[in-house]
C-alpha cells in the first residue's frame, strides 16, 4: 500500500514548496504563481505574460491584478478597462456636463463663463465687455443683461433708445397751448404767440397792421417755427431753410440773422433770391433752447423797404440720440 509521505510528513519539501504524493513516492512542487529555479520557488511575473492587462498590470507574490487609468474602471473580466461616465455617476459640473473618453468637460449656459476650477460657472458681465453694447446704459443681470434708457426715451430692439412722443401719449398742455415734442421731452407753446401791436392772421403768423403808425418801424410779419435737434450734432450742418412765401417783381431779398447768434453758433447762407439756409457751425449740447430771429429784407426799385422775421425756436435734446 502506497505511503502518503505528504500526509505523514515524511517528505523533505521546503516550506515554500507544495508536497504532491505519487505512487510509491512524492514530488516537491511550487505553488501556483511560482516556478522552480534550482531548489527554490521564485515568483512568476505574470505582467510579462499574456493575457495582458488593458492599462496597467501590478505583480503580487504568486499572482497579479489589473489597474485602470483615471476615468476608467475594470470590466467584469478584470482585464479590460471601460470608460466611466462621470456625468451619469455623480455630475460634477455646476451646469452642463459632457462625458469624454476617460474624463469629462464642463460647459456653462449662455451668459455664464467657466471659472478657473473648470467646474463652476460665473456670471459674465456683458456690460464690461463693450461700452457700445447699449446706446445709453447697460445693467448686468445673472446670465444676461438689459439696456435702459433715460427719461423721455424707450428701449427699442433691446439696445437702442427711441424718443417718446409725449404730445401723443401724455399731453399736459393747456387748451390755449400747442405741444411740441423734442428729443427727450416736450414743451408747451402758446397757440397765439403774437405780442402787441401784432395780430394773429394764421397759425404761427403775426402781422403788424400798416394802419398802426408803430408798425412802420417794425417788421411787417413774424412767423414762429419750432424744431428740435440732437445734442452734439456734427458740424457744419444745414438745419433749417427759410424761404419767401410771396414773391414780388422787381424786388431784391437779403437774409440775415437778426438776433440769437451772439456766440456764433449759426451762419445763414443765401441759396437763391428768395431762400436761405441756416447752418449750424458750432456743436450744441443740451438740454437747451435757442431762439434765433431770421430776417428777410425786401427792397424794390422805388426804394420801398419791408422786412419779415422768422422766429425759430431750436430745442437741443439732452443726448446725441
Residues 220 and 147 placed together within one structural domain of the fold:
no
Q: Does residue 180 fall inside a structural domain? A: no
Q: Does residue 176 fall inside a structural domain? A: no
Q: Does residue 275 fall inside a structural domain? A: yes
Q: Does residue 203 fall inside a structural domain? A: yes
Structural domains of the chain, count: 4
pLDDT of res. 162: 96
DSSP 215: G
Report which secondary-structure segment, H or E, holds 5: helix 5-8
Exposed/middle/buried for residue 183 (C-beta within 10 Å: 0-12, 13-18, 19+): buried
> 204-213: b or e for each residue (b if 16 or more CB lie within 10 Å)?
bbbbbeeeee
Residues 157 and 258 placed together within one structural domain of the fold:
no
Exposed/middle/buried for residue 301 (C-beta within 10 Å: 0-12, 13-18, 19+): exposed
Residues 229 and 309 placed together within one structural domain of the fold:
yes
Q: Does residue 120 fall inside a structural domain? A: no
Residues 21 and 68 placed together within one structural domain of the fold:
no
Residues 78 and 142 placed together within one structural domain of the fold:
no
Q: What's the whole-number mean pLDDT along residues 140-147?
A: 94
* pLDDT digits 0-9 by tens, 194-240: 999 999 999 899 999 989 999 989 999 999 999 999 999 999 999 99
Q: Does residue 114 fall inside a structural domain? A: no
pLDDT of res. 109: 95
Rounded Cα distance between 159 and 138, Å, is: 9
Q: Give the CATH number for residue 37.
A: 2.10.25.10
User: Among 147, 163, 179, which residue terminates a domain?
Assistant: 163
Q: What's the whole-number mean pLDDT along residues 77-84?
A: 95
Q: State the pLDDT confidence band at 245, using cuts at 50, 70 and 90.
A: confident
User: Among 163, 184, 215, which residue terminates a domain?
Assistant: 163
CB 281 within 8 A of CB 318: no
Residues 303 and 211 placed together within one structural domain of the fold:
yes
Q: Give the CATH number for residue 130.
A: 2.10.25
Q: Give the CATH number for residue 202.
A: 2.60.40.60
Residues 147 and 252 placed together within one structural domain of the fold:
no
Q: Does residue 94 fall inside a structural domain? A: no
Residues 257 and 217 placed together within one structural domain of the fold:
yes
Q: What's the whole-number mean pLDDT along residues 59-66?
A: 95
Q: Does residue 139 fall inside a structural domain? A: yes
What percentage of the chain has pLDDT greater than the value 70? 100
Q: What's the whole-number mean pLDDT along residues 156-170?
A: 94
* pLDDT digits 0-9 by tens, 274-306: 999 999 999 999 899 999 999 999 998 777 889
Residues 311 and 218 placed together within one structural domain of the fold:
yes
Residues 206 and 307 placed together within one structural domain of the fold:
yes
Residues 289 and 202 placed together within one structural domain of the fold:
yes
Q: What range does the domain containing 237 cover?
A: 194-316
Residues 215 and 202 placed together within one structural domain of the fold:
yes
Exposed/middle/buried for residue 65 (C-beta within 10 Å: 0-12, 13-18, 19+): middle
Amino acid at each position: 500500500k502506497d505511503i502518503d509521505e505528504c500526509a505523514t510528513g515524511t517528505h523533505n519539501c521546503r516550506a515554500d514548496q507544495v508536497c504532491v504524493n505519487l505512487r510509491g513516492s512524492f514530488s516537491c512542487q511550487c505553488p501556483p504563481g511560482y516556478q522552480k529555479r534550482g531548489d527554490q520557488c521564485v515568483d512568476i511575473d505574470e505582467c510579462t505574460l499574456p493575457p495582458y492587462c488593458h492599462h496597467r498590470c501590478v505583480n503580487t507574490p504568486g499572482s497579479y491584478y489589473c489597474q485602470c487609468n483615471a476615468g476608467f474602471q475594470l470590466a467584469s473580466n478584470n482585464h479590460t478597462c471601460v470608460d466611466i461616465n462621470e456625468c451619469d455617476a455623480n455630475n460634477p459640473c455646476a451646469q452642463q456636463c459632457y462625458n469624454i473618453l476617460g474624463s469629462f468637460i464642463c460647459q456653462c449656459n449662455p451668459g455664464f463663463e467657466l471659472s478657473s476650477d473648470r467646474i463652476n460657472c460665473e456670471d459674465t458681465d456683458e456690460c464690461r465687455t463693450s461700452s457700445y453694447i447699449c446706446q445709453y446704459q447697460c445693467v448686468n443681470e445673472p446670465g444676461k443683461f438689459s439696456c435702459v434708457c433715460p427719461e423721455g426715451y424707450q428701449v427699442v430692439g433691446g439696445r437702442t433708445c427711441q424718443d417718446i412722443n409725449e404730445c401723443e401719449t401724455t399731453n399736459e398742455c393747456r387748451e390755449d397751448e400747442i405741444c411740441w415734442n423734442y428729443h427727450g421731452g416736450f414743451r408747451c407753446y402758446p397757440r397765439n404767440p403774437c405780442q402787441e401791436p401784432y395780430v394773429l392772421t394764421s397759425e404761427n403768423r403775426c402781422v403788424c397792421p400798416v394802419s398802426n403808425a408803430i408798425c412802420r418801424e417794425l417788421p411787417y410779419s413774424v412767423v414762429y417755427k419750432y424744431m428740435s435737434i440732437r445734442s452734439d450734432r456734427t458740424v457744419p450742418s444745414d438745419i433749417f431753410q427759410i424761404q419767401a412765401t410771396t414773391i414780388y417783381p422787381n424786388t431784391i431779398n437779403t437774409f440775415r440773422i437778426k438776433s440769437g447768434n451772439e456766440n456764433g453758433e449759426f451762419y445763414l447762407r443765401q441759396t437763391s433770391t428768395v431762400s436761405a439756409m441756416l447752418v449750424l457751425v458750432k456743436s450744441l449740447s443740451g438740454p437747451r433752447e435757442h431762439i434765433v430771429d431770421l430776417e428777410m429784407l425786401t427792397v424794390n426799385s422805388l426804394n420801398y423797404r419791408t422786412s419779415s422775421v422768422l422766429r425759430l425756436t431750436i430745442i437741443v435734446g439732452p443726448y446725441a440720440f
